[in-house]
Amino acid sequence: MYDSKLIQIFQKFSVQEHRLLKKWVASSFVNKHEEVIKLVEFLYTRKSITAITTQRARTFDYLFPGKQYDDLKLRHIMSLATQVFEEFIIYYHYQQSETKRLFALEHFYSYHNLELYAENTSKSIHKYLTEQPKRDSRFYYDILQTEINDFISHSKNTRDKPFNIQTITDAIHHYSYAEILKYACVGLSHTKVSNVQYSLPMLPFVLAEVANNLEQQSPPTQLYFLIYKASSVIENEEYFELITKRLAKFESCFSDQELKDIFIFVINLCIRRINDGNKLFAETAYNLYQQALTKKYLIDKGEMSRFTFTNIVFTGLYIQNFKGVEDFIKTYQDHINIDFREHVVAFNKARLYFSKQDYKKAMPILLTVEFKDDLQNLAAKFMLLKIYFETKEYEALFALRNSFKVFLHRQKKIGYHKIRYKNVLIYIDKLYQHIGAKKDKINKLRDEMSAVQNLPDKDWFLHQLKNL
């Protein structure tokens, strides 16, 4: 029973939802089965929901004391309870959305030809929407739905009055442009790490149209257009400056969830530039993270993405804010999903110790933990390569180099990172080959390294040349 849909749903309800759920289940209007009430009552008597406390036999005995266990009967009651839960979810979802409630009301009035009430409800919807500060794509979707409902209502009995066709097409324009550009940004970002290609037939047209009159576009269209351009153009400093200005200007137009996505988009732009060797973006990325943390954009239902957690550590270490990173790990480690927490925290602690050159603490983690994320495994192996080279453990260096090469060859979904780590192996070899070399050969290698693209931590390689 513990792995059932019923229990999984039950455990996801918030405190407020549980409070309302009890009243919902007890209502004879929505639930006519006493066994369902008793089953939910049983769940609330458990101090904790575990496989033991929700054993099927124990549950059945609570529902039917002294009766012989009947699995089919219990399954039927669980199925009924699950339906009650799902109906509650639908009800609660609609209760939390003013527009959905008003749309449902307007639809009822319109369907039953109560036109005066339908029109008054439509006015309420318009008033509610125009008073909202949000101007994200969802806002334009709601405007579109409202205008379509108005058109259906007004066009029933007349043909000679002006219709709201222009308002409908304007809403379609704002909604579709914002969504096309948003998912173009998502697709571009995903392509860079996975090599998966996406076809967006309308994108070239939208980009051209928006470029011609950027200032007249909606806030989400403007931001996602600039993010896409900055992501797809190598020299993106001009676009990046425009993004930061418009982000400050339009911040109040977006929900916290969408602001989280936007901040991550912008920060990822910074990280790409850092990986390309542009140090100036590290401070910007770290400051953006601190801003997003302060405003709680990066925490969703108490959880922080493990990728976000790792990138915050990366940018903090890049600018050598060791104390800030250490405090961040302590403060936010419990916000990582429990399934990934141990490995993510271990990896980032290893990275912190490595950056502080505390190799005695870093190496045990790097040698004993097999990280779940392929990119973290690659980064961990790279750290070990650097430690072995700096400590002159050349036998261990070459053993790791060989296994690293095999591991990298097997990776099929890491995008441009494959090129980056191939370069790591190439230039680790070249560093070793130039130990004790003459100055002119070392200078030649320095020029080669300085010019190469996609070499992670290029500064480390250049620094090692000075010590050869």
Digit-coded pLDDT (tens) for 108-130:
998 898 989 999 999 999 999 99
> CA of 84: how far to CAs of 132, 150, 248, in Å?
33, 34, 44
The domain in which residue 114 lies consists of 98-174
Q: Judge whether 213 lies within some domain.
A: no
What is the percentage of the chain residues whose pLDDT exceeds 70?
98
Same domain, 49 and 112: no
Collect all residues with Cβ–Cβ distance below 8 Å to 194 and sequence separation of at least 6.
413, 414, 415
206, two tokens: 């939208």
Report the C-alpha gap between 275 and 30 in whole angstroms.
57
Query: Are 91 and 108 members of one domain?
Result: no
Question: Are residues 414 and 459 located together in one domain of the fold?
Answer: yes
The domain boundary, picked from 174, 200, 223, lies at 174
Q: Which of 22, 19, 14 minimizes the C-alpha distance to 81?
A: 22
Q: 291, 334, 287: which is closest to 309 by C-alpha? A: 334
pLDDT in tens, 221-266: 999 999 999 988 765 678 888 998 999 899 999 998 899 889 989 8
Q: How many separate domains does the chain show?
A: 3
Q: Write out pLDDT tens, residues 185-218.
A: 999 888 877 778 899 999 999 999 999 999 999 9
Residue 217 makes CB contacts below 8 A (sequence gap 6+) with 174, 177, 210, 225
Is residue 240 assigned to a domain?
Answer: no
Residue 5 scores a pLDDT above 90:
yes
User: At residue 336, what are phi and psi to the nearest 5 degrees?
Assistant: -75, 140
Average pLDDT over residues 262-289: 85
Domain boundary among 174, 191, 223: 174
Residues 334-360: what's their mean pLDDT? 94
Residue 21 pLDDT: 95
Q: How many residues does the chain have?
A: 468
377 and 468 fall within a common domain: yes
Inside any domain, residue 76:
yes
Give domain status of residue 181, yes or no: no
The answer to whether residues 86 and 115 belong to one domain is no
pLDDT at 273 over 90: no
Structural domain includes residue 264? no
**What is the average per-residue pLDDT within 288-308?**
90
Inside any domain, residue 52:
yes
Same domain, 87 and 157: no
Q: Which of 174, 195, 230 is the last residue of a domain?
A: 174
Map residue 49 onto helix, strand or coil.
coil
Same domain, 408 and 462: yes
pLDDT tens track for 372-426: 788 888 999 999 999 999 999 999 999 999 999 998 888 877 877 888 999 999 9
The pair of structure tokens assigned to 129 is 């929407």
Number of neighbours of residue 108 by Cβ within 10 angstroms: 13
Q: Is 244 exposed, middle or buried (0-12, 13-18, 19+ CB in 10 A)?
A: middle
What confidence score (pLDDT) does residue 236 get? 62
Amino acid code (one letter) for 251: E
pLDDT value of position 234 = 60
Is the per-residue pLDDT at 94 higher than 80?
yes
pLDDT digits (tens, 9 = 90+) for 138-160: 999 999 999 998 898 888 766 66
Do 14 and 89 belong together in one domain?
Answer: yes
- Together in a domain, 76 and 105: no
pTM of the predicted model, to two decimals? 0.74
Same domain, yes or no: 113 and 170: yes
Q: What is the DSSP letter of 411?
A: -
Same domain for 428 and 464, yes or no, is yes
In a domain, 308, yes or no: no
The pLDDT assigned to 446 comes to 92
Query: Considering just the CA atoms, what is the radius of gyration of the chain in Å?
Result: 29
